[in-house]
Amino acid sequence: MEKDEAVIASECAEGDFRRFDALYGAYARKIYSFIYFRIHHREVAEDLTSLTFTKAVEHFSTFKPDAGSFSTWLYRIARNTLYDHYRVSKTVLELPETWEIASPERLEKQFDARQSLREVRKYLNELPQETRDIVIMRVWDDLSYAEISKIVGKSEAACKMSFLRAVQKLKAATLYAVLFFFFFQKLNI
Amino acid sequence: MTQHIDEIVEELCRIDPAFFEQKTLVRAVVAKLIAVKPDTKFDEAFARRLGAELKNKVAARNVPVGLNLNFMKKFNFAFGFALLALALGAGAYYYANSGEVPGFSARDTSFGGQAEITKLASKAFGSLAFAQNPVRSQSGGGGAAMLEGDSFTDQSAVFPAPAGLGGGGAGGGGMGIMPPYYGYKFVYKGDALELTDETVQVLRRQLGESSSRDLKNFLLANDFGLADFGSFSNLKLQSFNFTEDRDHGYSVMVNFADGSIAINEDWLRWPDAHLNCADQPCYDAGKIEIGEIPSDKDLIAIADDFLSRHGIATGDFGQPSVENFWRMQYEQSSSQTDFYPPETISVIYPLRILGQEVFDEAGNPFGMTISVNTRVRQVTGLWNLTTQRYQSSDYAAETDAGKIIKIAEAGGFRRNYPLEDSAGAKTLSLGTPDISLVKIYSWQDGVNQELLVPALVFPVVDAPGSADYYSPKNVVVPLAKELLDESVFIGPHPF
């Protein structure tokens, strides 16, 4: 798809939208999810997704294949749309108390789902917004560091370091939680 | 998912080798992050709706300037056509030197309004003298005038007809199908002619399909689920048609290949007084009476009102006139009480280019034609509303005034009128000519070229006015030398 995607995107940039459907089909869910992961509100996510694709259609002529992939261009539009929404609605990117987990069966048996959610939410919210964004992009959006760097406008190395520090922090917290768990298990509390 | 976790862990270990020692814990952390990924509640119905909206946006975005196809869905004909005519009627009058042949595009098309002329090299249109003249079927409606292909040669070139005969407005009556035969003698009584220009500028109207990619994309985005239009290559839009969904509504045909717009009554929504007639008395009962025929002034007013309501520019058309050949037939009819006055009569708005009026080869004004239904006093058709984009090319001019007058006295360059040097022949005087343009068709290499050639149009100044025969209005002699070659003449023939 990547090679086709580049060709289709170039066509659309030149005004030939015959195959735009293919691009939309490949990215509709991804962009929606990208926005949902950060806003946790379905209706707003749908609105912002619609706005993202509308902007893409209206400004396709500004897409430069030499400057980057269609994917990073579209995600950048989505991210900017999201941040415009924050400015207008004066909301802050903060993960909610709880959310429905996509695949609860994947949780390790020794952790309660609700406990895991609380931990993750707590530690992700403690991260700087941009770092949190990078973590979500790598882990939930499954974007590569190269793509993340182009979307956030930082170097790949900087993005990797941000993610590393986030995992270090979460690792430390997890280690304490595990130790605490085993300690209190031993004490039978 | 395991692969995803492993991938992230390996990346982290590469960034910071210290992670190798705590790989298990790192793995657990990453696994937890992935495991608590939210359910986004992605709605497929939303995706489909958005996809459809984007499709419309793409289609609307790709529509050429001034051509908002969405208005068709509302069938708001008056407003929509005004938009179309307004957008298409804006033209620029300029000369440009160009070796290229500009293609037709709805973006820069001028329908009526001021002409655009692009100058080409001399004799760029090939031989003017080599012209085949396939007969165009005459009809009162714009639909017939929209015949595609090679059917646009003026029939008068072969069988010259007075204005109105065979076209819109011809009535019937006791005189029969063919008017009586009379021979003519033409005598020039005008001023001395001085022809000093060595070349004349011949114009060729530009035709061509709309190769607008925008319009093409609109079609490809709306394949109606029946066929994959994208499987066809090198698409060009040739024409489209829309109708009004109302009584007395119209059907509009836009023909890019021909560069013209035609408007016709949507016959399904117009009343037909003879619809259920099965015998002559029924037809007779529905016959329109001579006294019910609107005056020329009223007919022109009806046509003007139609043009005004639909935003059709008339700036470059001359004064309109009514084709009244049927009145001659009425006067000549052996039984006027049995005469059937026409149900439609045509009003002609003669085309003017470079300040010169355009005539057909028979000397009749040529231009936008509007047919008016005399029963309901409404316009039923409009045709010859065409693009006014031309290319020009210089051709050698005839400077021998004597030769020109000789050809005029012979009935014109097509010898349109039967000549007879007998006592029964009618002598008609020709007055001082005006320089105008004559429309001819030149068939070259399988392509029908619509050419406008500078010509002298000699008016018949002393038509007898007898009810016994028709009087031609003008005799046309073009100024392009090669059109006056003797070998071109078809030869005199009885009318």
Give the mean pLDDT per block of 10 residues along chain A (189 residues): 82 88 93 92 91 91 87 93 78 55 52 66 80 91 92 90 86 64 50
Which DSSP category does B190 fall into? S
- pTM, whole model, 2 decimals? 0.51
pLDDT greater than 60 at residue B92 = no
Q: For residue A114, what is the DSSP state? A: H
DSSP 3-state of B426: strand
pLDDT confidence of residue B154: 36
Q: Which residues pair with B477 in a beta bridge?
A: B456
Question: pLDDT tens digits, residue range B186-199?
Answer: 899 999 998 888 99
Q: Where is mean pLDDT largest: B99-113, B171-185, B272-286, B383-397?
A: B383-397
pLDDT band per the 50, 70, 90 thresholds, residue B433: very high
pLDDT at A91: 54
pLDDT of B492 over the 50 cut: no
Contact B229, B479 (CB under 8 A): no
- As a residue count, chain B comes to 495
Q: What would the two tokens of residue B478 be?
A: 């073009």
Cβ burial, residue A5 (10 Å; 0-12/13-18/19+):
middle
pLDDT attached to residue A1: 53
* Predicted confidence (pLDDT) at residue B5 exceeds the cutoff of 60: yes
Say whether pLDDT at B89 is over 50: no
Average pLDDT over residues B234-240: 76
Average confidence (pLDDT) over B248-258: 87
Chain B interface includes A135 (CB < 8 A)? yes
CA distance A116 to A78: 29
pLDDT, average across residues B108-116: 53
Chain B contact for A18 (CB, 8 A cutoff): yes
From chain A, pick out residues whose CB is under 8 angstroms from the CB of B51: 21, 24-25, 28
Q: Which one of B2, B9, B29 would you mutate to disrupt binding with A, by most A Cβ within 10 Å of its Cβ?
A: B29
Cβ neighbours of A111 (radius 10 Å):
19
- Give chain B's count of helices (H) and strands (E): 11, 18
pLDDT of res. B260: 87
pLDDT interval class at B432 (50, 70, 90) = very high
Q: Are strands B367-373 and B352-353 parallel, antiparallel or unpaired?
A: unpaired
Q: Which residue has the higher pLDDT, B133 or A41?
A: A41
| C-alpha span between A138 and A83 (Å, rounded) | 19
Report the distance separating Cα B17 and Cα B230, nearest Å: 53
Chain Cα centroid distance, residue B423: 44
pLDDT for B26:
84
How many angstroms separate the CA atoms of A104 and B26, rounded? 20
User: pLDDT tens digits, residue range B354-404?
Assistant: 888 999 888 889 999 999 999 889 999 999 898 888 889 999 999 999 999
Facing residue for A18 by CB, picked from B32, B38, B217: B217
Distances (CA, A) of B52 to A53, A184, B137: 12, 57, 45
Contacts of B23 in chain A (CB under 8 A): none
Predicted pLDDT of residue B23: 83
The minimal CB distance from B26 to the residues A25, A119, A167 is found for: A167
Look at residue B425 and give its three-state secondary structure. coil
Predicted pLDDT of residue A139: 92
* Cα nearest neighbour of B26 on chain A: A171
Q: What integer is the mean pLDDT of B115-128? A: 84
Would you place residue B458 in the very low, low, confident or very high pLDDT band (cuts 50, 70, 90)?
very high
Q: Which residues of B touch A137 (CB under 8 A)?
A: none
A144 chain-B contacts, CB cut-off 8 A:
none
- CA dist B330 and B339 (Å) reads 7
pLDDT of residue B291: 86
Do B357 and B379 form a contact (C-beta atoms < 8 A)?
A: no
CB contact at 8 A, A26 and A56: no
* Residue with token string 């939410």: A121
Highest mean pLDDT out of A166-170, B175-179, B206-210, B307-311: B307-311
Q: Which two tokens stand for residue B76?
A: 């708001």
Band the pLDDT of B421: cuts 50, 70, 90. low
Give contacts of B16 with chain A, Cβ < 8 Å. Answer: 164
**Count of residues in chain A:** 189
Is B73 a residue whose pLDDT tops 70?
no
| Chain A contact set for B47 (CB, 8 A) | 28-29, 32
The string of pLDDT tens digits covering residues B8-63 is 888 888 888 887 888 888 888 888 888 888 888 888 888 988 888 888 877 766 54
Tokens standing for residue B157: 């070139």
Task: Work out the average pLDDT over B145-168.
Answer: 34
DSSP secondary-structure letter at A116?
Answer: H
CA-nearest residue to A159 within chain B is B15
Nearest residue, CB atoms, B54 vs list A24, A29, A42 = A24
Cα torsion B34, B35, B40, B45 to 10°: value is 100
pLDDT more than 70, % of chain B: 67
**Helices (H), ranges, B68-180:** 71-74, 77-89, 142-145
Question: CB-based burial of residue A39 (10 Å sphere; 0-12 exposed, 13-18 middle, 19+ buried)?
Answer: buried
Report the chain A residue with the minimal C-alpha distance to residue B54. Answer: A54
Per CB distance under 8 Å, which residues of B are interface residues toward A?
A: 1, 4, 8, 11-12, 15-16, 22, 25-26, 28-43, 46-47, 50-51, 53-55, 57-58, 61-62, 213-214, 217, 220-221, 230
